[in-house]
Chains A and B, each alone.
Chain A
């Protein structure tokens, strides 16, 4: 696309007062008040998808029929006087890495083309129970491996702010769908930053909950010890509502923790951070960070000070090793997790000519079914776990992981939350880094430490750099997810007030 739209007052999205512009909270309130039906809200989202998704390519599968049926059910039960949940009737885009009955699950990979899971992920069953309307499945880097959604076997998704640029990844479809007003809410998953980085470059709020806070049952694993599903939304309150809907202990996931869900919705509305101690991570700045990103970040931190927070600089010396440790642990787990894609029970099958043995069919299917980045990581991980190399690679990386957790623990002795830029740069052009994996990996420099240590983290729109959104990352200790929403809610309100409107209002119309 050569002639992409640029933001202007006349073509701005804010100029259209459309149902799809409503936040999730406003949509739900309108439905609850009878001012808007769930079917109208859903149809509006479907219409918007029909209008813009050929440009954005966020959706891999649109389940119009299922969405409208769910919406009708909400309307009928509301009419019957049933008390419905706080997100009843609100449309949502689901990352195609979570299983849902009645829809395909591809994980952005050829190897799963046409596979329909016979069961719902726990996140999905909770969404259904909350009467959230599932619009369909959205695009992603294959098996969540990537930072640009260019690794999808089904073609890249484009950033609604600038359709020549990447929407981030791996939850690029989720972010683009919300930023393009195709859905007010989306579920993403975050293994090394895959919710927060797309949220940052699409001007959204994205949260990686505490590891163990949201069930992974039905989340097709990339790296089991790091993966976590979470919300993408246009506001902190919307993210909190979605977070509250999906979080909580699940007996089907042994790593899900049986503790009360932090009061995230309440925290999002408190808007008072006086006396809160905020630590700026010294190591997450400097070389490699776009100056514009630094400017926006610094301004956001100054706003926190203005809101009464006590801002100090803290050092987390081992964060420097987070990226290499991550690129040993995640590929190691991936090499094992992805072994099951072998053509025997589901998905793609190549080379079954009646002559080839099972091993050959497995091999030919995996050769044809996996893209280059997935193969690269399987090979990396297989190597790192090999006898004789395990201690030097996987074992050493686990030690680094422990040290990073200790850095966090020490920092949280001194401060309540940590902050950093979410990404070193704004969205880069499509194709800019596809041939340079390491440059691509650096997109997750700031987000990876929270995955390794397990704590929650949020990306919040900090501002624009040359018309492109950048984010500020807020990090909290494990199970203190509410602090993200406390800080995020206050900062969002202040930043919106400074610029006189929400950041997304500056997004170009499509």
Chain B
């Protein structure tokens, strides 16, 4: 890099990758979907008025004491088991001491050297290649309150005139899932978070909504020189930690940016500072957090207000036995049984319809039809309504019934959509809607033939074009027939009939 180049000119990502190998580790905080908080009985619902879900315990009032939420422990163990971790038969909570206004006690109850779950892994697939990401640990802790900095430009504390704190979030149970520095690309980083999110969603222990902060990701990124052939790996470089990435896309972009940024500094002979950084989504850049002159000393020590957690083997075994089918196993099964591709499954999952499709197949639809209706028609309707496909007032059994009727020719796709309209409007089952609205394909050739003849007679110029070989000009005639038939005809058949009549087929 020329010394004349401005400091902001980063090497291209490809250049950076050519010279350096990224080493990436991820720390993910997941809010557990318990009814009450980690150490008290306060509710955990998202979006309540500030400071309405608080009590002496989660406000850290003098004299108040924590009591461990059993459901939170259970959920954390389930996550550990699903990540193939060892579950500690005995472990303790620890206090992590630091002062911050959104932390009521000025210490966080967390775990330090005795985490609940250790030494697991998660396989993630990118472009057909499986990457095994080692899981160092999964530990439990409580969330902090949420600071709102008012009066500044960016919502950051810098420039703010004052700050408000909402303690509703204080004490919400969290697990922190820490990976080994096994990840080597932004794509795998993203895929890991995606897979982890899917895994936790399958366990039904968190709603894992990144935009609401119930899943938050910190990315540790460092670079090391790629070794020449035959050379051993270089030691790890100094890492930066980019905090609070709140979408999959941000995970990938932030890691990618850090790779370029660090490559630029290393190219210039500068050192990488070990620091926390923030990712600015609009600018697509990371910037340093408030730098501390010294490393923070959290003065961890075992939490004396809680007794050690000693989980009986039987308790863990029962949870292990009760785990649902995990995403990787399910994908393998759906590919084998339903003939879906990995891409199909990704699409279905991203559309939030995978469960619905599976249930629809179970109710009698073909995998292809179930996929088609949920992925296109129903996902779109949910999106139009601003809701989730799950929330639509139509069941997989209804959709299965509709696809069966389509397959048998009793409904056209257009009629099927009207049946869906009716079911969504609360007019009953698909069969009731068909009866009520009189929506069946008209199989009476006489009526259809008459309509076809009438359409041709009404538009002789179009008919002439079609006769002359412009087959695609037939569209308006098809429309006219369908209109005359009030939609109760199969458009493909109408088209065939028209072309046949016009000698163009």
On chain B, the residues within 8 Å of A217 by CB distance are: 63-65
**Proximity string of chain B (277-310) to chain A, C-beta cutoff 8 Å, 1 when within and 0 when not:** 0000000000000000000010111001111000
**Proximity string of chain A (325-352) to chain B, C-beta cutoff 8 Å, 1 when within and 0 when not:** 0000000110110011110111000000
A216 CA to B57 CA, complexed, in Å: 13
Asked if A346 contacts B106 (CB within 8 A), the reply is no
On chain B, the residues within 8 Å of A362 by CB distance are: 99, 101
Query: Within 8 Å of chain B (Cβ to Cβ): is A253?
Result: yes
Given A358-B101, A382-B299, are A225 and B304 also a contact pair (CB < 8 Å)?
yes
Closest residue on chain B to residue A98 by CB atoms: B63
Q: Which of A112, A119, A344, A390 has the most CB of B within 10 A?
A: A344
Given A119-B56, A225-B304, A255-B305, are A339 and B105 also a contact pair (CB < 8 Å)?
yes
Asked if A339 contacts B106 (CB within 8 A), the reply is yes
Asked if A336 contacts B97 (CB within 8 A), the reply is yes
Query: Within 8 Å of chain A (Cβ to Cβ): is B107?
Result: yes
Asked if A340 contacts B60 (CB within 8 A), the reply is yes
Query: Number of A interface residues, CB 8 Å?
Result: 44
A121 CA to B307 CA, complexed, in Å: 20
* CB contact between B62 and one of A105, A344, A394 (< 8 Å): that residue: A105
Shortest distance between the CB of B468 and any CB in chain A (Å) = 82
Asked if A254 contacts B65 (CB within 8 A), the reply is yes
Query: Within 8 Å of chain B (Cβ to Cβ): is A236?
Result: no
A342 CA to B60 CA, complexed, in Å: 11
A224 CA to B59 CA, complexed, in Å: 18
A216 CA to B59 CA, complexed, in Å: 17
Query: Within 8 Å of chain B (Cβ to Cβ): is A252?
Result: yes
Residues 222-277 of A contacting B (Cβ, < 8 Å): 223-225, 251-255
Q: Which of B67, B97, B304 has the most CB of A within 10 A?
A: B304
Asked if A117 contacts B68 (CB within 8 A), the reply is no
A98 CA to B62 CA, complexed, in Å: 9
Query: Within 8 Å of chain A (Cβ to Cβ): is B495?
Result: no
Query: Within 8 Å of chain A (Cβ to Cβ): is B165?
Result: yes
On chain B, the residues within 8 Å of A253 by CB distance are: 65, 67
| Interface SS, A side | loop
Query: Within 8 Å of chain B (Cβ to Cβ): is A459?
Result: no
A404 CA to B134 CA, complexed, in Å: 42
A394 CA to B302 CA, complexed, in Å: 11
A359 CA to B99 CA, complexed, in Å: 8
Asked if B104 contacts A254 (CB within 8 A), the reply is no
Given A336-B95, A336-B299, are A220 and B62 also a contact pair (CB < 8 Å)?
yes
On chain B, the residues within 8 Å of A118 by CB distance are: 56, 61
Asked if B299 contacts A344 (CB within 8 A), the reply is no
Asked if A342 contacts B307 (CB within 8 A), the reply is no
Shortest distance between the CB of B57 and any CB in chain A (Å) = 8
On chain A, the residues within 8 Å of B60 by CB distance are: 340, 345
On chain A, the residues within 8 Å of B65 by CB distance are: 216-217, 252-254
Query: Within 8 Å of chain A (Cβ to Cβ): is B213?
Result: no
| Interface SS, B side | loop
On chain B, the residues within 8 Å of A220 by CB distance are: 62-63
Query: Within 8 Å of chain B (Cβ to Cβ): is A91?
Result: no
Closest residue on chain A to residue B41 by CB atoms: A252
A252 CA to B305 CA, complexed, in Å: 11
Query: Within 8 Å of chain B (Cβ to Cβ): is A186?
Result: no
Closest residue on chain B to residue A107 by CB atoms: B62
A394 CA to B300 CA, complexed, in Å: 11
Query: Within 8 Å of chain A (Cβ to Cβ): is B163?
Result: yes
Query: Within 8 Å of chain B (Cβ to Cβ): is A219?
Result: yes
Asked if B301 contacts A121 (CB within 8 A), the reply is no
**Proximity string of chain A (208-225) to chain B, C-beta cutoff 8 Å, 1 when within and 0 when not:** 000000001111110111
Query: Within 8 Å of chain B (Cβ to Cβ): is A17?
Result: no
On chain B, the residues within 8 Å of A216 by CB distance are: 65
Given A255-B307, A336-B107, A339-B105, are A221 and B63 also a contact pair (CB < 8 Å)?
yes
Asked if A117 contacts B62 (CB within 8 A), the reply is yes
Asked if B106 contacts A386 (CB within 8 A), the reply is no
A346 CA to B307 CA, complexed, in Å: 28
Residues 160-187 of B contacting A (Cβ, < 8 Å): 163, 165
Closest residue on chain B to residue A387 by CB atoms: B297
Asked if A342 contacts B101 (CB within 8 A), the reply is yes
A121 CA to B68 CA, complexed, in Å: 19
**Proximity string of chain A (363-392) to chain B, C-beta cutoff 8 Å, 1 when within and 0 when not:** 000000000000000000010011100100
Asked if A332 contacts B62 (CB within 8 A), the reply is no
Q: Which residues of B contact A (CB under 8 A)?
A: 56, 59-68, 95, 97, 99, 101, 104-107, 163, 165, 297, 299-301, 304-307
* A–B Cβ pairs within 8 angstroms, 17 of them: A99-B62, A117-B61, A117-B62, A119-B63, A119-B64, A224-B304, A253-B65, A254-B66, A333-B301, A336-B95, A336-B299, A339-B106, A340-B60, A346-B61, A358-B163, A385-B97, A385-B300
Given contacts A105-B62, A252-B67, A390-B301, 5 further A-B contacts (CB under 8 A): A112-B62, A223-B304, A252-B65, A335-B97, A342-B99
Q: Which residues of A contact B (CB under 8 A)?
A: 98-99, 105, 107, 112, 115, 117-119, 121, 216-221, 223-225, 251-255, 332-333, 335-336, 339-342, 344-346, 358-359, 362, 382, 385-387, 390, 394
| 6 closest A-B pairs by CB | A339-B106, A224-B304, A385-B299, A225-B304, A220-B62, A218-B63
